[in-house]
Chains A and B, each alone.
Chain A
Amino acid sequence: MVETKAQLKVLGVNIETVRLLLQVIIFISIAGAAISSRLFSVIRYESIIHEFDPWFNFRATKYLVTHSYYEFLNWFDDRTWYPLGRVTGGTLYPGLMVTSGIIWHTLREWFSLPVDIRNICVLLAPAFSGLTAISTYFLTKEMKDSNAGLLAAIFMGIAPGYISRSVAGSYDNEAIAITLLMATFYFWIKAMKIGSVFYGTLTALFYFYMVSAWGGYVFITNLIPLHIFVLILMGRYNHRLYTAYTTWYALGTLASMQIPFVGFLPIRSNDHMAALGVFGLLQLVAVGHYVKSKVPSKQFKGFLMVSLSLITILGVAGLFALTALGWIAPWTGRFYSLWDTNYAKIHIPIIASVSEHQPTAWPAFFFDTNMLIWLFPAGIYLCFQELRDEHVFVIIYGVLCSYFAGVMVRLMLTLTPIICVSAAIALSKLFDVYLNVVDIFKSDSLEDVKTDSKKSKSKVSSSSSASKSSKFIQLLSKAVVLLSFTFYLVYFVYHCTWVTSNAYSSPSVVLASRNPDGSQNIIDDYREAYYWLRMNTPEDAKVMAWWDYGYQIGGMADRTTLVDNNTWNNTHIATVGKAMCSSEDVAYDILKKHDVDYVLVIFGGLLGYSGDDINKFLWMVRISEGIWPDEIHERDYFTERGEYKVDADASKAMKDSLMYKMSYYRYTDLFNGRDGMDRVRNQAIPASQSPELDVVEEAFTSQNWIVRIYKVKDLDNIGRDLHSAAKFDKSSSQQTKRKRIIKKPSLDLRE
C-alpha cells in the first residue's frame, strides 16, 4: 500500500508507525465488517439457533455449563434414540461446546458479564469469523506479503461461501473449524519455512484443537503429507521439512487420539494412512540425504531413485495387504463417496438423501465467491511462477479442494479460504505493479524501474520533451486499471452483502413471507408445535418423527425422540421409516413396541412449504426398503404410470400409509366439502376419500397446518383391534344398520 522506506516520514511521523496504525485500523474494520454482516438474521428476527444440527450442539453446551466438565465427557443421553440411548461423550466432537463453555465462564467470572449461554452460542460464529480473517492474514503474509494478507483477510471476512456456514445463530462445528483450519495451516507453513520444532508443536496443538472441533480434520491429515510428498518428489527435501513434519505427526497423531470419538482411528483407518506413509518415507529420505552428503554424487543417483521407488511400492503394497487382511479399516462411506460419486446413491441412501451431498452447479461458485472465482486460477498461476515451498501448498490445496467442492456442495466451505488467499495474491501482484506511481515521478536518472514500463521509461529519459505527456499517459493507464479493479472490489462488497442478506440469513425455524403491502408475515408453526409438546405432554413422552427433526424436538420440545440427525443407527431410522410408510396395523405394532406416545409430521400442503414429509416420503420408503425388501417396495407408492401422486390416482399403498393419512387427515374439511388443494404438489385431495385414522388421534395441529401431532391410541379396553373398535363406535353413533345377524362365527379353538 505505502511504499516501503524506513526513513520516510508522513506528517512528521515515522512511516512504520503510520503503517502499524493503518494495519490496526484495517483489522478492526475487517473484524467489524465480518461480524456485522453476519447479524442480519439476529436483527431481523431474533437471537435463536437456526437449522437442525446446531440444536444438538446447543443442548450439549447447555449440559456442559449446567453440569461439570467431567459429567459432560461421560454423558449418557437417554433422551435420544429412545430404546438405545446415545453415549454422547464418545460420539461428538467436544471442541465447539468446550470453547463456548470457556467463553461463558470467562465472561461470567473474570469480566463479571453474566451472558446467557444461548447468546454466546448464537454469536460464536461471527466472533470466530473475525479470528478467521486474522489467521488468513497471517497465512497469506507467509505466501506473499502483508498487503496480500490484508486483501485476503477482507475477502475471507465477507465471502459468502464462508458466511453461509457462519451466520449468527448457526452454531455448527464449521463455525470454529475454519478458523482452526487456517491457524493450523499458518503454523504449518511457518514451521516448514524455518524448520522450527516450536512451530511444529504449535501446528500439532492447533491440529488437536481442530480434531476436537470438526470431522473435517481428515482434510488436514491428508493435505500436509501430500505437501511433503510433492516436495520430496520435486527434489526439495531439506532437514527443515523433516523437523517440521515429524514433530507435527508424532505430537499431532498422539494428541488426536485423545478425542474419544476419534480413538484409534489414526492408526487403524485408511484415511490416515497417507500421513503414516509419508512419516516413514521421510525417515528414509533423511537417511538418504545424510548418505548423499558423504558419498560422491555419481554413485548416489541410481541408489536414490531405485530405493525410493522400491520403498514407495512396498509401502503401498503393505497398505493394501493390511486393508485386505482387515487390520486397517477401509475408507468410510462418506469419504469413499467423494471418489466414487455414485457410491452413496446406490449403497447408502441416507448419505445421498442429504441435500448438501449433491454435486455443485456452476452458478453456485459465482454466487458464493463473486470476483474471486476468476482471480483464483490467476493466483494459482502466479504461485507457479514463483514456486517457493509454501506456494506448492497453495497449489495442492487449490487443486484438491476444487475437485472436492465440485463433488459436494458442503465442501465449498473448505474451498473458500484458498480462493480468498489465491485471489488476494493475484490482486496484490496487480496492485504492486499498478500502484507503483513513485517510479514515474522519480527523477529520470534513476534506473531501478522494475515494472514492464521499463522500455517507455528509457525512452522518456532519452527525450525529455516527450517525457511529460508520456508520464501522463502512464499515469492514466495505471489509473484506469486501478479504478476498474477498485470498482470490482466495491462491487464485490455489494454482492457479498446482498447474498448474505437475501440468501443466507434466514432461520429455518421461523418462516418469513411478505404480505402484498410489504409488511412481514412470520410463520412460527414449528415453535408453536414444539412448545405445545413441551407444555402439554408428560415429561417422559416419546415422540416419533422423521430424523430431520430429531434435534429440534430434543432442543425445543425437550422430549424423548426415537431418531435424530446423528444418523448412527441406520436400522433404527429404517424402523421409523417403515412405521411411516406402512399401513396402520403394521405401524401400530411398531409404535407400540417402541413405546411411542406421539407422532409428529410436517405438512406443507396448506401453505406451499415444500420441505415437508410428503416430499421426503420416498426417502423413508427407500431407507426402509433397504432393511425390509420383502415388505416395503418403492414401486408400490407410484401410480400405474410411475407417477408420484397424492390425489385420487394415488396408489393403494400410498393411501394406506400412515404418513399419507396423518398428513391429509381432515384436510378437506378446510375446503367446505370441496376437494382439498395441496399447494406443494398442486394436486387435489378428493373430499370423498378423506383418510380416516383408527390407531392414532389428532392431538395438535399448528396454525398453518405445518406441524401435526398425533397421539397414539391405547390398546382397546376390551381387547378388540382398533379398527373394529372404531368401526363399532361409528356404526353405533350413526345408527344406520339396525340389522341383526344370528350366525355362528368361524373361530379357531381357544388355547
Chain B
Amino acid sequence: MAKKDSIKKSVTHTTSNKIGHPINELISAVTTTYKDYINSLTPRLKLIDIFLTFLVLLGILQFAYVLLVGNFPFNAFLGGFISCVGQFVLTVSLRLQYNYENNSNNTRENIDQEIKEKNIEDVNETKVDIETAEASDMKPFKFVTPERAFGDFIFASLILHFVVFHFIN
C-alpha cells in the first residue's frame, strides 16, 4: 500500500495547489481515509496488503538495480519486474473481490435485510427495485464468490509464473 499512499499524497498535493482548498481539510480527508482503511482491515486483508507491500518493494529493488547496473539481460529484468507487477495487480484484484463491500455474496443477508426494512417502511414495490438495483450496482462482483475469486487467482498466477519462467530463459 506504500505506493498507493504515496501516489495519493502527491495527487492530493497537486490538487491543493490547483483548487486552493484549505489544506487542513485535505489532510483530514486523508486521515479519515487512513482511519477507515485501518478500521476495515480484516486479518485476511491485512495479509494481502503485507504481500502487496512486499511486491512493491521487490519491484522497486529490481528497478533500482537496473538503474544502477544497466539492463543487459533485458528479458530477465522484464521477467522479474513484470512478475512483480502482474502478481501485484492479480492480488489487488483478489483483494477487491474479497473486500466485502464489493462482494454481494458476503452481504446477501444484509441486502435482504435492507429490502425487508424497505418493505416495511414503504409498501411501494418499485422503490425497492430501485434500491436493490443500486445495491447490486454498488457491489461490482455479484457473480464472483470468494472461493471462485481465489480459484481464479491461483489459475492466473500459475499461468503468470509459467510465462515468467519461460521468459527468463
Contacts and interface: CB of A to CB of B under 8 A. Distances in A.
Interface of A: 194-198, 200-201, 204-205, 238-240, 242-243, 246-247, 249-251, 253-255, 257-258, 264, 267, 283-284, 286-288, 290-291, 293-296, 299, 302-303, 306-307, 310-311
Contacts of A257: 75, 78, 167
B96 A242 contact: yes
26 contacts: A195-B140, A197-B152, A197-B156, A198-B151, A200-B93, A201-B155, A201-B156, A204-B159, A239-B97, A242-B92, A242-B93, A242-B96, A243-B96, A246-B89, A247-B89, A250-B86, A250-B90, A251-B163, A254-B160, A255-B163, A258-B163, A267-B78, A283-B7, A291-B33, A293-B101, A310-B14
B164 A197 contact: no
B102 A239 contact: yes
A287 B8 contact: yes
Interface in B133-160: 140-141, 143-144, 148-149, 151-153, 155-156, 159-160
Contacts of A247: 89-90, 93, 156
Interface residues of B, number: 50
A253 B82 CA distance: 9
Interface string B7-28: 1100110110011010001100
B167 A198 contact: no
Contacts of B167: 254, 257-258
A200 B90 CA distance: 10
Contact of A196 (B8, B32, B143, B163): B143
Given A205-B159, A254-B163, A284-B11, A197 B93 contact: yes
Contacts of A243: 93, 96-97
Interface in B74-99: 74-75, 78-79, 82, 85-86, 89-90, 92-94, 96-97
Contacts of A284: 7, 11
A15 B43 CA distance: 50
A143 B33 CA distance: 38
The 4 closest A-B CB pairs, nearest first, are A250-B86, A246-B89, A197-B152, A243-B93
B120 to A, nearest CB: 28
B160 A251 contact: yes
B44 interface: no
B95 to A, nearest CB: 10
A238 B7 contact: no
B138 to A, nearest CB: 9
Given A246-B92, A254-B160, 15 more contacts: A194-B144, A197-B93, A198-B148, A198-B151, A201-B156, A201-B159, A240-B141, A243-B97, A247-B93, A251-B160, A254-B78, A254-B79, A257-B78, A284-B7, A307-B14
Contacts of B33: 290-291, 294-295
A705 B7 CA distance: 73
Nearest to A310: B14
Contact of A250 (B85, B148, B155, B166): B85
Residue from A240, A255, A284 having most chain B Cβ neighbours under 10 A: A240
A246 B93 CA distance: 8
B90 A240 contact: no
A291 B160 contact: no
A307 B11 contact: yes
A475 B11 CA distance: 63
Nearest to A246: B89
A294 B14 CA distance: 20
A652 B162 CA distance: 65
B53 to A, nearest CB: 15
B160 A294 contact: no
Contacts of A296: 29
A284 B7 CA distance: 8
A593 B101 CA distance: 75
B14 to A, nearest CB: 6
A200 B156 contact: yes
A179 B83 CA distance: 29
Contacts of A238: 140
Interface string B32-73: 110011000000000000000000000000000000000000
B152 to A, nearest CB: 4
Which label, helix, strand, loop or mixed, suits the secondary structure of the A interface? Answer: helix
Interface in B93-121: 93-94, 96-97, 101-102
A246 B32 CA distance: 28
Nearest to A264: B74
A98 B78 CA distance: 26
A201 B152 contact: yes
A197 B90 contact: yes
Contact of A197 (B4, B37, B149): B149
A239 B163 contact: no
B4 A196 contact: no
A388 to B, nearest CB: 12
A306 B15 contact: yes
A204 to B, nearest CB: 8
A254 B140 contact: no
A205 B25 CA distance: 47
A484 to B, nearest CB: 39
A29 to B, nearest CB: 33
Contacts of B101: 293
Nearest to A205: B159
Contacts of B156: 197-198, 200-201, 247, 251
A284 B8 CA distance: 8
B155 A287 contact: no
A243 B164 CA distance: 20
Nearest to A300: B29
A242 B96 CA distance: 9
Contact of A195 (B19, B26, B82, B97): B97
Contacts of B15: 302-303, 306-307
A250 B86 CA distance: 5
Contacts of B92: 242, 246, 286
B144 A196 contact: yes
B159 A303 contact: no
Contact of B89 (A240, A250, A303, A311): A250
A591 B21 CA distance: 78
B90 A306 contact: no
Contacts of A197: 90, 93-94, 97, 149, 152-153, 155-156
A286 B4 CA distance: 10
B75 to A, nearest CB: 8
B158 to A, nearest CB: 9
B144 A195 contact: yes
Given A291-B8, A294-B36, A254 B82 contact: yes
Nearest to A237: B140
Nearest to B74: A264
A198 B154 CA distance: 9
A299 B155 contact: no
A321 B8 CA distance: 25
Nearest to B10: A307
B140 to A, nearest CB: 4
Residue from A205, A243, A296 having most chain B Cβ neighbours under 10 A: A243
Contacts of B29: 291, 294-296, 299
B55 to A, nearest CB: 12
B19 A303 contact: yes
